[in-house]
Each structure stands twice: as structure tokens, then as C-alpha cells.
Amino acid sequence: LRPDGEHLTARLAESENIRYLMQEAEATLGKTLSPAMSALLLTITDDYGLPVEVTIMLLHYAQEVGRTGTSYIDSVARDWAESGIFSLEAAEEKLRQLTNARLAWGKVSAAAGLTKRSPTKSEEEKACRWVYEWGFSQEMLEAAYEACADHTGKFSASYMDKVLGGWQTLGIFNRADLEKHKQAAPAKQKAEGAAEKSYDIAELMELSKLRLPDKL
């Protein structure tokens, strides 16, 4: 249960840190704290164990991404507590990861023309892999989405992951490389087809020899 007004008043009276937290929260969020937000902030420090300075960093991030509701702040605070984010250094690293993930998803959203929505955890992980691990540019994300839309008719992170994974393996990292690969593919298929046809003819000839009657 969240602390009630009486408990909050008592904690404000006895703790300078809690008073400082509430003042900074109001300044960061730009509004008077609701009873629900005040109770949540007290829960974050007293029950989740996040230090005041870490909680303030969390609030700055929530304000930056435009998600200042109690549900979002509570979910992030729980995640930080479970992940052991109890120092400024750990909070800074976590914020760097969150910022990178947000930027990567922004690139993917722009490439796919998606309306603003939060990614699933799997989509976020894939976006980070495409942008930071594999190093694909905006134009290649757009090319991957085009291939995805042509095949599935919609955005599919799983399909784009297969496309980009294939390109990464082949060393295709720009439109010029992709065009060369597309041009070479028909010739390769034709050569493979010819080889298969030759093999089939040779096999048929051998079979026909086996079926020929012995000369009298």
C-alpha cells in the first residue's frame, strides 16, 4: 500500500532529504505534486530503496521523454531497483542505455513511417542491434523496411532482422552494395540453373545407357 497523507507529512517533517526530493520533483515536473505522485516518490525512496539523487535523475529522464505519469515512473523505478541502480554512476549508465535505445527506435520508426508508439522489448533490442552492433545507416533501415513491406505488407521487426542479418553477413552496408548484389543474383541463379540442367542431362544419359538392351 502507498503511504497515506499522515505518513507523508511525518516523513516530510523528519527528513530533509524527502523535503528536498519533493521540491526537486516539483521543479523538474513543473507542477504541484499530486497526492498520488508524492506517495509514489516516498515509496520509491523508502520501499524500493532508490537514493534521492537517483530518483531525481529518473524524474529528469521521464520529463525528457514526456512520460511523467505515475504508472510510467513507478515501472521505471521498480526496474531500476530490481536491476540494482542505486548509485549515480549506475543511473548514468542506465540513462545512456535508455537514450541509445530511444534514438535507435526513433531511426527505425522514421524508416518504417510508424506512428508514435512505444516499442516492445524485442523490437527495442533489435533496433539497438541494427544501429549500434551492425552499424546500419538510416538509408539501409529504409531499404530493409521496403523489403519487409514488399514481402509482408507491414512492419515486422522479425522479418527486418532476417533481412539486415543477411546483409550484415554478406557485407552489404549501403545502397550501392545492395544494387550490386541484386544485379549479381540473377546471373548466379542462371549459372546454378545451367549447372543443375547439365547434371540432369548427364544423369539421364547414364540412366538411358543402363536401360539400353544388350546387343544380340
| Domain annotation for the chain: domains and CATH numbers | 1-86 (1.10.10)
Q: Is the pLDDT of residue 171 over 90?
A: yes
Residues in the chain: 216
By mean pLDDT, which of 11-25, 48-62, 132-146, 189-203 is the weakest? 189-203
Which residue carries 513507478 as its cell?
74
CA atoms of 6 and 57, how far apart (whole Å): 27
Average model confidence (pLDDT) across the chain = 89
Asked whether residue 187 carries a pLDDT value surpassing 90, the answer given is no
Q: How far is CA 28 from CA 5, 106, 173, in A?
A: 22, 24, 42
- The grid coordinates of residue 166 equal 543477411
| pLDDT, tens digit (0-9, with 9 covering 90-100), for 4-60 | 889 999 999 999 999 999 999 999 999 999 999 999 999 999 999 999 999 999 999
Residue 169: how many other CB atoms lie within 10 Å: 9
Q: What is the pLDDT of residue 116?
A: 79
How open is the CA angle 193-194-199, to the nearest 5 degrees?
A: 100
d(CA 38, CA 21): 10
